[in-house]
Amino acid sequence: MYSISVLVLGFIIFMIIYARFMNVSGHISRRRMQLDNFRDQVEFRVKRLVIGTRQIQEDIALELEHLEELKEELGDMRDEV
């Protein structure tokens, strides 16, 4: 009788520990997926920022060229007058 009680108690303790382990394991897996999703979102946003920054730099370069052309035209007009 004693050995059956010990066996049942041991099995119950094993099941409790195993259930806790599976719960922790599932929690870790869920967190890992959340982290992967967050990393993907950050990478996507960084790519968009890089593309946007590059476009802004190109626009600034074009506008600076246009400004230089306008300065030259203004200088030419002053020379003519």
| CA dist., res. 6 & res. 65, Å (int) | 88
| CA dist., res. 64 & res. 17, Å (int) | 69
Query: Is pTM, for the whole model, over 0.85?
Result: no
Q: How many domains does the chain have?
A: 1
69-78 mean pLDDT: 89
Domain enclosing residue 55, as ranges: 1-81
pLDDT digits (tens, 9 = 90+) for 1-46: 888 999 999 999 999 999 998 998 889 999 999 999 999 999 999 9
Q: Go through the chain and tell me how many residues it has.
A: 81
pLDDT digits (tens, 9 = 90+) for 43-71: 999 999 999 999 999 999 999 999 999 99
| CA dist., res. 10 & res. 13, Å (int) | 5
